[in-house]
Amino acid sequence: MPDVYKTDAYKVDGMTCGGCARSVSNAITKAAPDAAVTVDLATGTVLVAGGIPAELVRQAVEAAGFDFGGAAA
């Protein structure tokens, strides 16, 4: 069972505007409806709460046309 309180940070390359941020957020939310997604466009970081597996986030980000950079430092 996923840890619903867990939040993970990921780098996403290629986001340049609010529309990009919405596309990434919508793609992750579509793949994992229980996820809470916050996009920081300035840093290219996406926070995903809800214990969503990184592989699912990667697939959603790449399906939206962006580069998944893995866990953010």
Looking up residue 41, the CATH number of its domain turns out to be 3.30.70.100
Estimate the crossing angle of helix 54-63 against helix 18-31, to 10 degrees. Answer: 130
User: What percentage of the chain has pLDDT greater than the value 70?
Assistant: 95
Range of the domain at 65: 7-71
pTM of the predicted model, to two decimals?
A: 0.91
Residue 2 lies in a domain: no
Sorting pLDDT into bands at 50, 70 and 90, what band is 5? confident
**Is the CB of residue 60 less than 8 Å from the CB of residue 32?**
yes
* DSSP secondary structure letter of residue 17: S
Position 1 scores a pLDDT of 53
How many structural domains does the chain have? 1
- Give the rounded distance of the alpha carbon of 19 from its chain centre: 14
- Nearest 5 degrees, angle CA 7-CA 13-CA 16? 105
